[in-house]
Structure 1
């Protein structure tokens, strides 16, 4: 998270951070899937695969997440008279998200599919911001509800595990939060985002199991691009993890980074052992460009 969240207990604070980390990863996955579809439309290549992957992800991940929020979090927030109208509006936005997914699924032309996809991406990002900055802090500060208890075991809200399993809330790559990697310190690097970024410039060697080319990637011009330089520092790694989660087997993405991201590559190797081949397309001094192929 990029801001301090006050809570009635350490457990609730960690629960907030876990949900925010999962939101960030979801946003990264959605952004990559949308970018892959838009890029296919722009280049005039086949869009069927990118279109179907996006629709499938929204139905298996995004919509179940929205329903889980309505079932677990929203009823508690709705009891607060100051938040009641906000919660009603958030539920209405879930309805709009569902309609956009249906429209995306039914789209008969690539251009219309891309238009619905971009609208869905923008709406989800603004919706996520309101949840992170208003709904979650409200619940964390409430003395009438334990947010940690409400979210305990909620797969759809925490990305596959609860905030307390295996100590991941304390050891994950995002500060204090579980990021859905299932690996604790090994899965997400075991360090805060700030410590990881600080180590980028003086990391001595590339991680084991990581493959780097020297001349670039032949298909890099056709890969969707994630410009991590534009992502806020505190959520950068979670966004990248989410984007990589959206890369289909045989496909890839290009990452633009402000540093040589060796610690990030070590985290990727730990989280997806042997899954990604990485080729450097550009090595500074302002930008490092890397092609990830699954």
Structure 2
């Protein structure tokens, strides 16, 4: 039976995917707007050191947390899929450039030089966030096994200072059917190369294996630990040396 909270009209504001897209868009627009506002301040006219401190605190705090949280959630979910692998590489490259600018900002020798670095940071960040909004989010919506609402919820957890759950065993027998595969793929996205988790099910998860072959070709391991007749257990892992 479907609960009232699970009833929605697809592609409207009641759709969890639409709500998740809106939340993420609001978050990165707020970050971009905050940095843009700080870089518009004249470092000389406004007693430069306080401006420099405000920009540095924002970049080394909230902005770095956002970049790290995205890497652990949205990027991790899309990194192994053939259709999004190159996109994630590009986003991780521009995120690295933003981090390099932030490192320079922390060691700037004057408020004026800090302002120049901050403006360069804002320019790269603007392009980076635009790609997240216009390319990555639509790709995640279409990606087999990706659960955008769950990924955005995980992102919010990390931004709030929380930690993601990484259970060693996922027993899906009590999980509604429509939520099983997204839950499993979300757990896979959190694996480091060489790590594994164990899936427990009441039938042979061959359809899930086909989805893994489609979404993460050559980057996952699949080992039967128990093969029925009433319970199946599969150890799923991320291959060492994969491009994810």
TM-score by length of 1: 0.48
Q: Structure 1: which 5+ residue stretches go unaligned? A: 162-294
Work out the CA distance in 1 between the residues paired with 2:96 and 2:124.
Answer: 11
> Match for residue 140 of structure 2?
139
> Match for residue 215 of structure 2?
none
Work out the number of aligned pairs and report it. 152
Work out the CA distance in 2 between the residues paired with 1:49 and 1:155.
Answer: 29
Work out the CA distance in 2 between the residues paired with 1:48 and 1:132.
Answer: 34
Cα deviation digits, residues 252-283 of structure 1 (max 9, x gap): xxxxxxxxxxxxxxxxxxxxxxxxxxxxxxxx
Q: Of 10, 14, 22, which aligns to 2:15?
A: 10
Within a 5 Å distance, the mapping from 1:124-135 to structure 2 comes to 124-135=125-136
RMSD between aligned residues: 2.5
| SS in structure 1 of the partner of residue 40 of structure 2 | helix
Within a 5 Å distance, the mapping from 1:206-217 to structure 2 comes to none
> Match for residue 78 of structure 1?
79
Cα pair 1:34 1:117 within 8 Å, conserved: yes
Work out the CA distance in 2 between the residues paired with 1:115 and 1:142.
Answer: 39
Cα pair 1:78 1:87 within 8 Å, conserved: yes
Q: 1:64: Cα distance to partner? A: 0.6
Cα pair 1:33 1:54 within 8 Å, conserved: yes
> Match for residue 34 of structure 1?
39
Within a 5 Å distance, the mapping from 1:197-208 to structure 2 comes to none
Work out the CA distance in 2 between the residues paired with 1:83 and 1:126.
Answer: 18
Q: Does 2:101 correspond to 1:96?
A: no
Work out the CA distance in 2 between the residues paired with 1:119 and 1:147.
Answer: 31
Work out the CA distance in 2 between the residues paired with 1:123 and 1:157.
Answer: 23
Q: 1:151: Cα distance to partner? A: 2.0
Within a 5 Å distance, the mapping from 1:109-188 to structure 2 comes to 109-155=110-156
Q: 1:143: Cα distance to partner? A: 3.6
> Match for residue 178 of structure 1?
none
Work out the CA distance in 1 between the residues paired with 2:30 and 2:83.
Answer: 29
Q: 1:49: Cα distance to partner? A: 0.3
Cα pair 1:31 1:121 within 8 Å, conserved: yes
Counterparts in 2 of 1:64 and 1:32: CA distance versus 1, 3 Å: same
For CA contacts below 8 A with separation 6 or more, give which structure has more relative contact order: 1
- Point out 4+ residue stretches in structure 1 off by more than 2 angstroms: 153-161
| SS in structure 1 of the partner of residue 43 of structure 2 | helix
Counterparts in 2 of 1:125 and 1:160: CA distance versus 1, 3 Å: farther
Q: 1:92: Cα distance to partner? A: 1.4
> Match for residue 106 of structure 1?
107
Cα pair 2:48 2:112 within 8 Å, conserved: no
Q: Of 14, 20, 26, which aligns to 1:21?
A: 26
Q: 1:75: Cα distance to partner? A: 1.6
Work out the CA distance in 2 between the residues paired with 1:160 and 1:128.
Answer: 21
Q: Does 2:56 correspond to 1:51?
A: no
Counterparts in 2 of 1:120 and 1:111: CA distance versus 1, 3 Å: same
Cα pair 1:6 1:137 within 8 Å, conserved: no
Cα deviation digits, residues 73-95 of structure 1 (max 9, x gap): 11221222122112111111111
Larger radius of gyration: 2
Work out the CA distance in 1 between the residues paired with 2:158 and 2:138.
Answer: 16
Cα pair 1:20 1:132 within 8 Å, conserved: yes
Cα deviation digits, residues 224-260 of structure 1 (max 9, x gap): xxxxxxxxxxxxxxxxxxxxxxxxxxxxxxxxxxxxx
Q: Structure 2: which 5+ residue stretches go unaligned? A: 1-9, 163-244
